[in-house]
């Protein structure tokens, strides 16, 4: 039997139902075995930690702190109490009670995470799903050979002992897994789109085209290389939170950008090349309606971008979880601090409660009950500025708007500034849910003072209702955070807090006036888990890609490829920057100081305003930004985005279909 | 089958005008100028004209790929923009515009899906069409690796995937080798026998002449001539006679006889020996090589017409054909009647034709067309190149068959070929050399 015959025989074998059933059993058994094995390993590690006293050390550290707090004496300082002697012991006791309670809950959560085998189960589940997909597509043996070859190349490199070669080996393995998963997923998409009829067949053709067209392959290869390579640009000596945040930033941002460019290129190319190559003639002389053609193309591009996003985002997710399970700064192993280190360590606190979470944050409501004051001051200053002048209404409105901005900014600065030894009250509303959840919150703040010398530290006291006061020392100009118990929130869902510029316990004030920059004082509380947030963020990103695809297709129905690409990329940039555009438009006046009218600005505003209105929901979605900052991407936001994107896509679909129907398809002017 | 109402043309073009304009809406070219014609059900209709005469533009308007500037176009009684009519149309553009990244099987499957054909139907038709166009051995190679001729074959296959009622072929033989050209012509004739309506656009005169029933000749965007091949091509004042080889004396006696019979008004003006045509020689060589299983990476020889396209694939179609021929008015060609020269068999008309054509005196493609045009009319030939309907012409000219036999000095047995081809030697018969 020749080699060719043997290959054919193997191919027939992997296509047989018997082989598929046997392989399915093996895969399921392997996945279950992997989860059990991982759970056993975890249990052994937990026992080792206990024997080493590390886990108990963490508990005893908290206990010791509690003991110290209990040993304190004196009256608790009242909320808003002035800095000074006599309240120090009370402040210390209240601080400890609050912090220890928060810490206790965090330590419990971390212990649960440490012992959990959930990630392993998820990884095994997804791996098994991909493997089953491969087997039932009739590619089981092919992929087995592929894995064997890749393993044969990668494993010796990983075990070579050289860090550089080991990294290369890991990259080879990563690229193989991602490329293999993408190929299998695309194949599965092709099978799913296998129905008869124009829409599905055109969509499937786009998927096939994307895999076999050089321009798409370049993007796919680039993206897989980027995702596999990002871990190697991380600085291993930096705090883990920075590594996690950097990886999330680049690991999700770069693939999104590349996928967006792929979606635009593919959508323009798939329509335009067909016109230029006249292949369209043979499609459109079949019983294919214009709307079916456009819809089929769009579904195809969406499927390709979705498959690519699913594969890259899965890779990023699991590597992020891998990073999360490495020891943070000050930890012996993940979630277990070294003796003498706070529990949780600041690094771990930031990772778990600010980055790898789904939190909602509330800024201090400094304008509460100040609206009338702002309006009155605005009116007074506007009148003074325009006194005895006859100006157009539009100029008056512009002046009022600018004056209001200035008054608001001044008020904000005044409200957020605190003299040495002085205090100021702040309120954070809408925190009823956080109180009910019972999960620890975090207070995030940044202090500006003088020249913001980063080597200089200020002590600040946060006093809450009920006499709980916490003193914190923070570097100037740097964000700092601290845990808080949710019971500090009033039953009406408002967190009331007084900030003292100094150490209330010792009665020492700071040297200069301190202030919080806008956005520099916020309370955040977890409303979900990172995994769920990640899925929602990816869904939001895919929605954005779907809109981009339709933009590209619409442009390509009446423009040549280069022009369509230029238009599509411009719209993409305008859509991404719609928030910035909106901000810019607020100060882009058509009538300037002195009453001069700038007529050329009218058309610019006329073009910019609809773009801003159209794409603001798109721009404000910011799934990557929110994910990296640990902010929640709620389903409601995703749903609203889906509605907006759906409306835009439908409008563009109607436009593209109309163009296709009216166009003389035998004419192509884009050469 | 076409569901066109009785008497309604499949394609009706009236005063069709198309002008191309530049950016400033100034007329740049008038590609079609007041063209009118009708294509009737079951007709093979030719659009003939030099490059730039408006053939392709007319076809694109009929297909809805261009919009007319003036005039009216109806396909199956509907405007070209009606997507519903496209279920019944097969189209082969002047070049095969195919997806380069698909292979032949995927290409046919894709177009089959556009017609909402079921998976089984698609698979069966794909197999048959690939076999028919000789791409069975190359079906898994990407189309971008195909030669122009192979792409052309695939283009033909995709145009037939829906078993169309109206087949529009724009320069169908461009890029094809002689064998492929012959097969395409046979296919057209086969489809014609199934009462499919075909519009054939070409500037290759032989393609049109061999196959069409009726044609228009375009030049400068206008119709210059319109009519049947018979009416346009027959030289009714000439007669061609073909016999076995004659010596000089016999020829002189024949000449004398003709002079005597016509009172000196007619005589032999030219005598020549038939020569095998290069096309036939080529086909014979290729067939011999294929029979010896010589390897090729290109298109195969091609098989018989796909089952679903053959006349025997649709009994009801045959019934209709018979009824139509029975209803044919006196003097009209008897459709569907047995062919006189080369009987097209259901098992494989193309092979029969090719074998015949490989012989020097074989009946050519024109034989099939002759059979279709003239049906069982005795003496109607498979002639081409001036021999179309030569049998009828011979009869009309009053040539005495008995006298001819005596002059030949033998009791020659009239076989089908001779009977059908009294002067109708077909393409292979060197009819052109006998052309006065």
Assign B311 a pLDDT band (cuts: 50, 70, 90).
Answer: low
pLDDT band for A122, please (50, 70, 90 cuts): confident
Report the pLDDT averaged over residues B29-41.
92
Structure tokens at A66: 């509690």
pLDDT in the model for residue A327 = 87
> What's the pLDDT at B85?
95
* Mean pLDDT, residues B38-52 taken together: 90
Please list every residue in chain B whose beta carbon sits closer than 8 Å to the beta carbon of residue A276.
none
Indicate whether B316 belongs to any domain: no
In a domain? residue B255: no
User: Which residue among A209, A278, A664 places its CB closest to the CB of B101?
Assistant: A209
Please tell me which residue of chain A has the smallest CA distance to B162: A286
> In chain A, what residues touch B110 (CB-CB under 8 Å)?
201, 205
CA distance B240 to chain A (A): 45
The reply to whether B139 falls in a domain is yes
**Rg of the Cα atoms in chain A:** 30
The answer to whether the Cβ–Cβ distance between B158 and A282 falls below 8 Å is yes
Residue B20 tokens, joined:
């191309």
Look up the ipTM and state it: 0.75
A254 vs A51: which has the higher pLDDT: A254
> How many whole angstroms separate alpha carbon A154 and alpha carbon A534?
29
pLDDT band at A545 (very low <50, low <70, confident <90, very high): very high
Q: What is the mean pLDDT of residues B248-262?
A: 92
Residue B294 belongs to a domain: no
Distance from CA of A140 to the nearest CA of B (A): 22
Tell me which residue in A195, A197, A279 faces B97 most closely, judged by beta carbons. Answer: A279
For the cut 70, the answer to whether the pLDDT of residue A66 exceeds it is no
Name the more confident of A256 and B371: A256
Q: Out of A442-451, A635-644, B370-379, which region has the weakest mean confidence (pLDDT)?
A: B370-379
Residues B227 and B363 in one domain: no
Give the domain CATH number at B119. Answer: 3.40.50.300
Q: Which of B210, B234, B258 is the last residue of a domain?
A: B234
**Which pLDDT does position A629 carry in this prediction?**
86
For residues A467-482, give the mean pLDDT: 84
What DSSP line would sit under A346-389, residue for residue? HHHHHIIIIISEEEEEEE--TTTT-HHHHHHHHHHHHHHHTTT-
Contacts of A401 (CB under 8 A, 6+ apart): A586
Chain B contact residues (CB < 8 Å to A) = 60, 63-67, 81, 83-84, 86-87, 89, 91, 93, 95, 97-99, 101-102, 106, 110-119, 122, 142, 155, 158, 162
Smallest Cβ distance to A664: which of B65, B93, B116?
B65
**Average of pLDDT values for B78-106?**
93
CB contact under 8 A, A282 and B63: no
Q: Is residue B248 part of a domain?
A: no
Instruction: Identify the pLDDT of residue B29.
Output: 85
Of B435 and B104, which is predicted with more confidence? B104
Residue B97 belongs to domain spanning: 11-234
Cβ within 8 Å, pair B106-A208: yes
pLDDT band at A27 (very low <50, low <70, confident <90, very high): very high
pLDDT of the residue at A400: 85
pLDDT confidence of residue B73:
96
Contacts of A209 in chain B (CB under 8 A): 99, 101
Give the distance from residue A186's alpha carbon to the nearest chain B alpha carbon, in angstroms: 16
d(CA B366, CA B425): 10
Nearest residue of chain A to residue B69 (CA atoms): A664
3-state secondary structure of A336: strand
Looking at the predicted structure, is the pLDDT value of residue A637 above 50?
yes
Q: Do B84 and A285 touch (CB under 8 A)?
A: no
What confidence score (pLDDT) does residue A55 get?
62
Last residue of a domain, one of B234, B264, B288: B234
pLDDT at residue B293 in the model: 63
Residue B91 and residue A277: Cβ atoms within 8 Å?
no
**A197 neighbourhood in chain B, CB within 8 Å:** 113-114, 116
- Report the pLDDT value the prediction gives residue B407, as an integer from 0 to 100: 33
Taking CB atoms and an 8 Å cut-off, how many pairs form between chains A and B? Answer: 84
Q: Which of A210, A276, A287 to mutate to test the interface with B (most CBs of B within 10 A)?
A: A287
Radius of gyration of chain B (CA): 23
Q: Region A111-132: what's the mean pLDDT?
A: 79
Query: Are B114 and A283 within 8 A, CB to CB?
Result: yes
Chain B nearest C-alpha distance from A657 (Å): 14
**Number of folded domains in chain B?**
2
- Residue-wise pLDDT for B336-374, tens only, equals 333 333 333 333 334 443 343 334 333 333 333 444 443
Where does the pLDDT of residue B301 fall: very low under 50, low under 70, confident under 90, or very high at 90 and above? low
For residue A97, what pLDDT is reported?
Answer: 56
pLDDT at A595: 62
Mean pLDDT of A265-293: 93
Position A592 scores a pLDDT of 65
Most confident among A534-548, A572-586, A610-624, B261-275 (mean pLDDT) = A534-548
Compare A655 and A484 and report the one with higher pLDDT.
A655
What residue in B sits closest to A665 (Cα-Cα)?
Answer: B65
Chain B residues with CB inside 8 Å of A281's CB? 63, 65, 91, 93, 97
For residue A590, pLDDT over 60 is answered with: yes
Single pTM value for the model: 0.75
Q: Would the CB atoms of A287 and B115 count as touching at under 8 Å?
A: yes
Instruction: Give the torsion sign (CA, A484, A489, A494, A496).
Output: negative
What is the rounded distance in angstroms from the CA atom of residue B166 to the CA atom of residue B161?
A: 12
Closest-CA residue to A133 (of A22, A25, A20, A209): A20
Give A151-188 pLDDT, tens digit per residue: 898 889 888 878 778 878 877 888 888 888 888 888 88
Distance from CA of B352 to the nearest CA of A (A): 33
Q: How confident is the model at residue A564 (pLDDT cuts 50, 70, 90)?
A: very high
Shortest CA gap B19–chain A (Å): 13
Bridge partners (DSSP) listed for residue B169: B92, B200
Mean per-residue pLDDT, A209-231: 76
Cβ–Cβ of A200/B113 closer than 8 Å? yes
Across the interface, whether the CB atoms of B110 and A278 are under 8 A apart is answered no
Domain-ending residue, one of B171, B204, B234: B234
* pLDDT for B239 beyond 50: yes
Interstrand relation of A441-446 and A521-529 (parallel, antiparallel or unpaired): antiparallel
pLDDT in tens, B379-398: 333 333 333 333 333 333 33
Distance in Å, alpha carbon of A209 to nearest chain B alpha carbon: 7
A464: buried, middle or exposed (CB in 10 Å: 19+, 13-18, 0-12)? buried
Chain A: residue nearest B110 by CA? A201
pLDDT score at A471: 86
B87 vs A contacts (CB less than 8 Å)? 287
pLDDT digits (tens, 9 = 90+) for A28-60: 999 999 888 888 887 887 777 777 666 654 444
- Domain assignment present for B227: yes
Q: How much is the pLDDT for A24?
A: 93
Stretch B126-154: mean pLDDT: 90
Residue B196 lies in a domain: yes
- Residue A58's pLDDT is 44
**Mean model confidence pLDDT for chain A:** 82
pLDDT tens digits, one per residue of A392-406: 777 777 788 888 888
pLDDT value at A658 more than 90: yes
B215 and B359, same structural domain? Answer: no
Q: Model confidence over A280-323: pLDDT tens digits?
A: 999 999 999 999 999 999 999 999 999 989 988 888 888 888 88
Angstrom distance (rounded) from CA B108 to CA B86: 17
Could you give the percent of chain A with pLDDT greater than 70? 89
- Shortest Cα distance from A314 to chain B (angstroms)? 29
**Alpha carbon distance A486, A503 (integer Å):** 23
Determine which of A275-279, B6-10, B353-357 has the lowest per-residue pLDDT on average: B353-357
Does B267 map to a domain? no
Residue A210 has a pLDDT of: 86
């Amino acid at each position: 039997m020749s080699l060719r015959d043997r290959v054919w025989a193997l191919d027939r074998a992997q296509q047989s139902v018997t082989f598929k059933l046997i392989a399915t059993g093996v895969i399921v058994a392997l996945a279950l075995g992997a989860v059990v094995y991982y759970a056993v390993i975890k249990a052994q590690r937990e026992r080792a930690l206990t024997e080493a006293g590390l886990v108990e050390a963490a508990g005893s550290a908290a206990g010791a702190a509690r003991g110290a707090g209990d040993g304190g004496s004196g009256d608790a300082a009242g909320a808003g109490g002035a800095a000074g002697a006599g309240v120090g012991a009370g402040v210390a006791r209240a601080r400890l009670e609050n912090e220890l309670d928060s810490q206790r809950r965090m330590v419990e959560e971390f212990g649960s995470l440490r012992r959990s085998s959930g990630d392993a189960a998820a990884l095994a589940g997804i791996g098994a799903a991909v493997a089953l997909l491969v087997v039932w597509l009739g590619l089981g043996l092919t992929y087995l050979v592929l894995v064997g070859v890749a393993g044969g190349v990668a494993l010796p490199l990983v075990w070579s002992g050289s860090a550089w070669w080991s990294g290369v080996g890991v990259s080879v393995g990563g690229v193989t897994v991602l490329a293999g998963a993408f190929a299998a997923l695309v194949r599965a998409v092709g099978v799913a789109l296998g129905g008869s009829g124009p829409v599905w067949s055109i969509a499937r053709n786009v998927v096939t085209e994307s895999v076999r067209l050089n321009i798409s392959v370049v993007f796919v290869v680039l993206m897989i290389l980027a995702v596999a390579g990002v871990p190697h640009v991380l600085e291993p000596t930096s705090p883990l939170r920075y590594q996690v945040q950097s990886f999330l930033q680049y690991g999700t941002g770069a693939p999104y950008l590349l996928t967006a460019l792929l979606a635009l290129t593919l959508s323009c190319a798939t329509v335009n090349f067909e016109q230029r190559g006249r292949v369209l003639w043979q499609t459109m002389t079949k019983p294919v309606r214009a709307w079916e053609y456009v819809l089929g193309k769009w579904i195809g591009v969406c499927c390709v971008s979705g498959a690519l996003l699913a594969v890259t985002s899965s890779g990023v997710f699991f590597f992020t979880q891998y990073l999360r399970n490495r020891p943070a700064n000050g930890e012996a192993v993940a979630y277990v601090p070294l003796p003498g280190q706070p529990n949780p360590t600041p690094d771990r606190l930031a990772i778990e409660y600010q980055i790898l979470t789904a939190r909602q944050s509330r800024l201090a409501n400094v304008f509460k009950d100040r609206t009338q004051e702002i309006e009155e001051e605005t009116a007074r200053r506007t009148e003074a500025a325009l006194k005895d002048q006859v100006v157009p209404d539009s100029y008056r409105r512009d002046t009022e708007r600018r004056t209001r901005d200035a008054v608001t900014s001044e008020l904000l600065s005044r409200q957020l500034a605190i003299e040495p030894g002085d205090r100021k009250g702040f309120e954070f509303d809408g925190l009823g849910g956080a109180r009910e959840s019972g999960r620890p919150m975090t207070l995030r703040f940044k202090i500006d003072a003088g020249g913001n010398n980063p080597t200089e530290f200020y002590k600040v006291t946060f006093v809450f209702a009920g006499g709980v006061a916490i003193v914190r020392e923070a570097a100037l100009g740097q964000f700092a955070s601290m845990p808080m118990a949710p019971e500090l929130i009033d039953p009406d869902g408002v967190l009331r807090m007084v900030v003292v510029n100094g150490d209330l316990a010792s009665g020492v004030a700071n040297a200069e006036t301190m202030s919080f920059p806008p956005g520099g004082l916020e309370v955040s509380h977890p409303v979900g888990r990172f995994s769920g947030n990640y899925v929602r963020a990816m869904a939001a990103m895919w929605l954005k890609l779907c809109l981009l695809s339709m933009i590209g297709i619409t442009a390509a129905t009446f423009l040549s490829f280069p022009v369509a690409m230029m238009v599509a990329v411009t719209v993409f940039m305008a859509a991404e920057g719609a928030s910035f555009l909106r901000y810019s438009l607020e100060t882009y006046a058509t009538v300037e100081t002195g009453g001069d009218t700038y007529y050329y600005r009218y058309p610019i505003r006329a073009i910019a305003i609809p773009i801003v209105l159209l794409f603001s929901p798109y721009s404000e979605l910011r799934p990557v930004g929110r994910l990296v900052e640990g902010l929640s991407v709620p389903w409601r936001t995703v749903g609203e985005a889906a509605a907006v994107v759906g409306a835009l896509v439908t409008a563009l679909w109607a436009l593209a279909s109309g163009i296709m129907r009216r166009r003389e398809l035998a004419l192509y002017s884009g050469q | 089958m076409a569901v066109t109402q009785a008497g309604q043309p499949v394609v009706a073009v009236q005063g069709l005008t198309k002008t191309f304009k530049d950016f400033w809406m100034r007329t740049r070219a008038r590609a079609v100028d007041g063209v009118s014609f009708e294509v009737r059900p079951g007709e093979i209709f030719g659009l003939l004209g030099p490059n730039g005469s408006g053939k392709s533009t007319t076809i694109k308007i009929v297909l809805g790929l261009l919009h007319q500037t003036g005039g009216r176009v109806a396909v199956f009684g509907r405007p070209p923009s009606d997507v519903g009519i496209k279920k019944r149309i097969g189209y082969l553009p002047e070049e095969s515009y195919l997806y380069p990244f698909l292979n032949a099987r995927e290409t046919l499957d894709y177009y089959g899906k556009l017609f909402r054909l079921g998976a089984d139907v698609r698979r069966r038709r794909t197999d048959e069409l690939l076999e028919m166009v000789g791409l069975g051995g190359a079906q898994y190679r990407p189309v971008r690796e195909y030669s122009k001729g192979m792409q052309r074959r695939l283009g033909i296959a995709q145009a037939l995937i829906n078993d169309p009622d109206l087949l529009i072929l724009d320069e169908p033989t461009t890029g094809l080798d002689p064998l492929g050209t012959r097969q395409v012509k046979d296919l057209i004739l086969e489809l014609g026998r199934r009462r499919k309506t075909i519009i054939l656009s070409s500037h290759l005169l032989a393609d049109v002449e061999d196959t069409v029933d009726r044609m228009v000749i375009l030049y400068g965007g206008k119709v210059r001539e319109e009519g049947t091949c018979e009416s346009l091509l027959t030289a009714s004042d000439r007669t061609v006679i073909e016999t076995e080889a004659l010596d000089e004396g016999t020829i002189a006696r024949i000449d004398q006889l003709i002079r005597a019979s016509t009172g000196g008004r007619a005589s032999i003006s030219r005598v020549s020996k038939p020569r095998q045509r290069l096309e036939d020689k080529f086909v014979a060589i290729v067939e011999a090589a294929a029979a010896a299983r010589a390897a090729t990476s290109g298109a195969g020889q091609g098989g018989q017409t796909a089952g679903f396209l053959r006349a025997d694939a649709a009994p009801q179609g045959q019934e209709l054909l018979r009824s139509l021929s029975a209803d044919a008015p006196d003097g009209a060609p008897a459709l569907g009647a047995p062919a006189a020269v080369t009987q097209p068999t259901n098992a494989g008309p193309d092979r029969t034709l090719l074998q015949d054509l490989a012989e020097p005196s074989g009946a050519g493609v024109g034989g099939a067309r002759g059979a279709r045009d003239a049906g069982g009319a005795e003496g109607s030939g498979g002639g081409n190149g001036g021999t179309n309907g030569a049998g009828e012409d011979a009869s009309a000219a009053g040539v005495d068959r008995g006298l001819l036999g005596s002059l030949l000095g033998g009791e020659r047995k009239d076989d089908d070929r001779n009977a059908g081809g009294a002067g109708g030697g077909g393409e292979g018969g060197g009819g052109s050399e006998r052309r006065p």
